[in-house]
Structure 1
Amino acid sequence: MASGQQHDRATCWLALPYGLLWWPWLGPIGALVSTLAFLMGGLWLSPDLDTNSRPYQRWGPLRWLWWPYRKALRHRSVLSHAPVLGTLVRVGYLIGIALLLTGLAHPPSSTDLLSWMQQQWSRPERLLLVALIGIEASAWLHLIQDGDPMPIRSRRQKRR
């Protein structure tokens, strides 16, 4: 299992080469978005947000947002460290918190919220997809460095 410093170093070293992979299809904007998403995924949205880790500490005064997440999930649980699912849980959690805080600041009517959600889901956004793939790619880097990109399988094998 890699240390937090090793995870950070690998993320920083591989972010630009990863982003440049997207250049032929999406140009400089796509490369920039994918690079930044890879960095964001590795440095701020890491699978290790379920512990008092470097990514958790990086949130600074906003790290309290992740306290319920940390308390609800066991370290290396399926919901935090499984490929795809872990990223979906972290991104979904962050979106949920943002919607909750936005709703507290300016409560929308139910029709406003439904209208907004339809607008977001009805138009395809390649850059949003590239950003999500970048966050997931950095999670895979993290899991590979930890030595087991499939934590579910290893737990089943240990129980036997």
Structure 2
Amino acid sequence: MASGRSHDRATWLLSLPFGLLWWPWLGLAGVSVAGLSFLLGGLLLSPDLDTRSNPTRRWGPLRLLWWPYRNLLRHRSLISHSPLLGTSGRLAYLAALLLVSCLLLQPLGGPAPQQLLATAQALWQGERPLLLAALVGLEASSWLHLIQDGDPMPRLPRLLRRRRRR
């Protein structure tokens, strides 16, 4: 398993090359969005948010938002440390926090959840290729982390095995 420094170093080193892969299809905007999302995925939305880690500390005072996530999940669990499921779980957790904060702030003049959903839908309709590049960047940084840890599919084989009767 790689150290936090190794994860960070690899993320920094590979973010630009990953972004450059998008140049032929999306130009400079694709390079920027994909490279930046790869960087954010590795440094802020790492699979290690289920521990007290560098990515958790980088959230500053907002790291408290990750306390329930960290306490609900075991480190290196199937939910946090698996391809696709890990990244989508962290994004769903952030979306739920955003929705709850909208509901709590609405009486104080905050945006309604419907406005948030309408904005997200308009963004999806207008910038779908860039959003897909961003999502792939987040997932790719997660894969880099998992590969460095040596476990792209950490618990799946054990889940598929039959239990022995004793």
TM-score by length of 2: 0.86
Task: Tell me which residue corresponds to 1:2.
Answer: 2
Contact 2:103 2:113 in 1 (8 A): no
* Count of residues in Structure 1 that have an aligned counterpart in Structure 2: 159
Distance apart, 1:155 and its partner CA: 3.5
1:153–1:32 distance in 2 versus 1, CA, 3 Å: same
Pair 1:66-2:101 in alignment: no
Task: Tell me which residue corresponds to 1:17.
Answer: 17
Query: Mind listing any 5+ residue stretches in structure 2 that lack a counterpart?
Result: none
CA–CA distance in 1 between the matches of 2:133 and 2:145?
Answer: 18
Of Structure 1 and Structure 2, the greater helix share is in: 1
Amino acid of the structure 2 residue aligned with 1:73? L
Amino acid of the structure 1 residue aligned with 2:58? R
RMSD across aligned positions (CA): 2.2
Distance apart, 1:110 and its partner CA: 7.3
Contact 1:20 1:31 in 2 (8 A): yes
Task: Tell me which residue corresponds to 2:138.
Answer: 135
Aligned residues with identical type, % of pairs: 60
Secondary structure at the counterpart of residue 155 of structure 2: helix
Task: Tell me which residue corresponds to 1:146.
Answer: 149
TM-score by length of 1: 0.89
Task: Tell me which residue corresponds to 2:94.
Answer: 94
Contact 1:148 1:154 in 2 (8 A): no
Query: Mind listing any 5+ residue stretches in structure 1 that lack a counterpart?
Result: none
Distance apart, 1:50 and its partner CA: 0.3
CA–CA distance in 2 between the matches of 1:33 and 1:109?
Answer: 27
Distance apart, 1:103 and its partner CA: 2.3
Pair 1:80-2:80 in alignment: yes
Task: Tell me which residue corresponds to 1:126.
Answer: 129
Contact 2:22 2:34 in 1 (8 A): yes
